[in-house]
Amino acid sequence: MTIQHRQTKQRAALLDLLRSTKSHPTAAWLYERLRAAYPAMSQGTVYRNLSVLAEQGLVLVLRSGSTYDRFDADTSVHYHIMCESCGRVDDLPLSAETFRNAEAERVSGYLVTGHRIDYFGICPECQKSKKGGFPGTGT
């Protein structure tokens, strides 16, 4: 098998794995689950393959300033909500407000190609497990 063929196979397996989860995993999470089947693969390879898939428009990169990037095989326009307690990331079932693009264009003079809105809070599981309340939430 050529190196190129092997890389293509690894990338396909990576995309399959990402498509099988709704958890918006990190590169490390994906690497942990692929290393048994691809022992020669490094975490750097996983990261590079994710970059290639993102360039091809097959994967969304969810960049967060403070923690590691997360990845999403659902490339449709949708919003995310992140738990400030456990770090989990969920899709937010709100319609994406694409009208904002036109509004942003009008006030900025930019040609707007998209926008991001991220929500933050405490997930239902963390609300249940922590009785002491959360700072700033009034609970």
Contacts to Zn ion by CB under 5 A: 83, 85-86, 123, 126
Task: Give, as ranges, the residues between 50 and 79 that touch Mn ion (CB under 5 A).
Answer: 72, 74
Q: How far is the CB of 92 from Zn ion (least distance, A)?
A: 15
| Cβ atoms of residues 125 and 87 within 8 Å | no
3-class DSSP state for residue 107?
helix
Choose between 17 and 126: whose C-beta lies nearer to Zn ion. 126
User: What is the full DSSP assignment across 116-136?
Assistant: --EEEE--HHHHHH--S--TT
Site for Mn ion contains 26 (CB under 5 A): no
* H-run or E-run covering 9: helix 3-19
Nearest in space to 79 (alpha carbons), one of 40, 117, 128? 117
Among 91, 92, 96, 127, binds Mn ion (CB under 5 A): 91
Site for Mn ion contains 90 (CB under 5 A): no
Q: What tokens does 114 get?
A: 């998209």
Choose between 74 and 118: whose C-beta lies nearer to Mn ion. 74
Choose between 54 and 126: whose C-beta lies nearer to Zn ion. 126
Residue type, 50: L
Site for Mn ion contains 29 (CB under 5 A): no
Choose between 46 and 60: whose C-beta lies nearer to Mn ion. 60
Q: How many residues does the chain have?
A: 139
Site for Mn ion contains 10 (CB under 5 A): no
Q: Estimate to the nearest angstrom the gap between the alpha carbon of 32 and the chain centroid.
A: 17
Binding region for Mn ion (CB under 5 A)? 72, 74, 91
